[in-house]
Structure 1
């Protein structure tokens, strides 16, 4: 079974061309335990999770190298938008495209990092609308989990953050991951 783990990143820019991106790392269920152990081994001290923006540049490179060595494929949807669009709309556009792309590649389960029950409900409404319109099938399962409960979400966080930083000219982490990442721009 091919499962995708999804996280998002948003960057506000002074020129009002903000970036919203969502990344999915996809891997087969037989690789989950080893990948989780690899990611767990990267935590320092009592931190409950890895989070890209909390890491130094040197640690980001170590994390990127570890993820690049995992048997994962990554997909990042990117939407560059102005303040008239709003972040929830940008999120919906990225998530919609991400789900379409994931189902087309054979993913049968998607785990999205939970934000809060209200915000997760907004995502669920999008998923339900996509199923109703038959944009995605009912066969693809989508659920939400806190990142502290699922280390594979940490890899999605690293991929999406490295991608948005790369878009802004800070490519050290992305350059280590780029062979595993496909970036799709959302209009």
Structure 2
């Protein structure tokens, strides 16, 4: 059985305008403890979580992640028009990402919490996908705070590496490329 940890990011507004992504780190349940322990080693004293945007240790973070048994699935939507609100972008990415996760055998998805109201929107999105019969399996989603689960730091870093790649720097992305699959999201 597999679990996916999911985080979001908007790309660089100047170099890659209107781009939104959801990254899923897919880990076999038997490998979760090893991956979680490895990610915890990245915490600095006094640090609550590892967050790509706040870090100067991108090489160490990506090297640690690349050494884990993790598959990455990244849903990317590019909509530079002004009407592309982040919440709509997220909904469209979830519409594509969640069925793909189920097809890969994922039974549980952990998303970084954005607050009660926004977390409920994710649950509503899953229920809407079910009503449209885009998901055959029993996928459960839960929300936790970023500091609570080090495995949420993996999709955060993956989003950071993808953003760098989309903006012309493939250094960190190249290390994740062998285990990364993109989903282009239209709509």
Q: Shorter-chain-normalised TM-score: which range?
A: over 0.9
Please say if residues 161 and 172 of structure 2, whose CA atoms lie closer than 8 Å, have aligned partners that are also in contact: yes
Partner residue of 2:129? Answer: 130
Report what 1:103 is aligned to: 102
TM-score, scaled relative to structure 2:
0.94
Query: In structure 2, what is the Cα distance between the partners aligned to 1:121 and 1:138?
Result: 20
Counterpart among 69, 77, 80 of residue 78 in structure 2 = 80
Question: Structure 1, unaligned stretches of length 5 or more?
Answer: none
Range with greater deviation from structure 2 (132-141 or 44-53)? 132-141
Asked whether the equivalents of residues 10 and 21 of structure 1 are also in contact (C-alpha less than 8 Å), the reply is: yes
Counting only pairs closer than 5 Å after superposition, residues 104-183 of structure 1 correspond to structure 2 as: 104-137=103-136, 139-183=138-182
State the 4+ residue runs in structure 1 displaced beyond 4 angstroms.
none
Normalised to the residue count of structure 1, the TM-score between the two structures is: 0.94
Check the 8 A contact 2:16/2:166 in 1, yes or no.
no
Say which SS state the counterpart of residue 169 (structure 2) adopts: coil
Distance between the aligned counterparts of 1:104 and 1:75, measured in 2? 12
State the Cα distance separating 1:11 from its structure 2 match.
Answer: 2.5
Question: Could you list the per-position Cα deviations for residues 130-181 of structure 1 after superposition, in whole angstroms to 9, with x for gaps in the alignment?
Answer: 1122211351111111111111000111111211221111222211111111
Does the CA-based 8 Å contact 1:16-1:83 persist in structure 2?
A: no
CA distance in 2, matches of 1:89, 1:115: 15
Tell me which residue corresponds to 2:39.
Answer: 39
